[in-house]
Amino acid sequence: MTDTAATPATPATPAPVDYRATLNLPDTPFPMRGDLPKREPAWVKDWNSTDTADNAANSASDSAATLYRRLRAARKGAPLFVLHDGPPYANGKLHIGHALNKVLKDMIVKSKQLQGFDAQYIPGWDCHGLPIENAIEKLHGRKLSRADMQAKSRAYASEQVAQQREDFKRLGVLGDWERPYRTMDFANEAGQIRAFKRVVERGFVYRGLKPVYWCFDCGSSLAEFEIEYADKKSETLDVAFEADDSAALVAAFGLSALPEGKTGFAVIWTTTAWTIPANQALNAHPELSYALVETPKGCLVLAESLVEACLQRFG
């Protein structure tokens, strides 16, 4: 009988271990990539579309239940928080200033909603004024009649409102975008006239003098913030006003009388000499120290800190 060596048994290959099943990790529906340029428009569309599941039982008139309207319904009867938003001009595409303004305000409105308020936001647009008129003049020139200017401005503003509204929605701002207020809406214009009528009836309107800044190039008035001032060195004038009550003047400085033959004067400095004939009185600052200085011209009331500079300037 022939001996043969025993062949060792081949070890079994271990089954692969699925370590994924051994990890307790959260599951998330969020995709691996943000892909915001594609996803954000879909979110905005969803916010402004009908939620058929929630509105199946509603009437046809309530079918357009946007997210904003559902928020209003959820807070019906709660304390009101209404953001009074200074409207942007309807005169061009949005810039970073618009974005910063609207996004910050939207954060405030949404935070108030989360605090339990009925936080309403009614967007609006300023459809009047020089910016829109300037845009029309650039497009059509400056020879337009008043009626033509108004018609073209209204049409232009309507286009800009539609464009800006879509961009504001794209920023994620929630509001009653289908019912905004526009200063050019006839109801708003009529309301302004009615309000002005009440102001006139209560005596708050009067005729007076007021400077109106005017642009010769634009042919229109300017707001004060539109004015740019150039540096200019003006002629100056020092004027001595004789004291109306010499006794009161010397008493204020603890004296019994002015030097013999001397008259008391209060000295002012001005660059607008033409206003002097209308002067009625001079003001003394309660927190400044004044000096009464004897000079060959008389006794002058000067600010104590300016005595040396004034006397040198007077010669």
Domain ranges in the chain?
A: 65-201, 237-276+288-314
> Cα angle vertex 239, ends 235, 240, to 5°?
165
- Res 1: pLDDT: 54
The predicted structure's pLDDT at residue 2:
58
Tell me, what's the pLDDT at 129?
Answer: 83
The dihedral region occupied by 244, where left means phi > 0, alpha psi between -120 and 50, and beta the remainder, is: alpha
Q: Which helix (H) or strand (E) holds 298?
A: strand 298-303
CA dihedral for 209, 211, 216, 218, sign (positive or negative): negative
The per-residue pLDDT for 58 is: 45
Q: Would you state the pLDDT for residue 281?
A: 87
pLDDT tens, residue by residue, 189-208 = 999 999 999 999 999 998 88
Residues of the chain with pLDDT under 70: 1-9, 50-65
pTM: 0.56
**According to the model, what pLDDT value does residue 55 have?**
47
DSSP 3-state percent helix, strand, coil across the chain (nearest 5): 40, 15, 45
For the domain covering 65-201, report its CATH number.
3.40.50.620
pLDDT the model gives residue 52 = 44
**Do 242 and 263 contact (CB within 8 A), yes or no?**
yes
> What is the C-alpha to C-alpha distance for residues 53 and 13, in angstroms, rounded to an integer?
54
- What pLDDT score does 103 carry? 95
Bridge partners of 294, per DSSP, are 299
Q: Which two tokens stand for residue 107?
A: 């954060």
Per-residue pLDDT reduced to its tens digit, 63-75: 345 889 999 999 9
Read off the DSSP letter of residue 120.
E
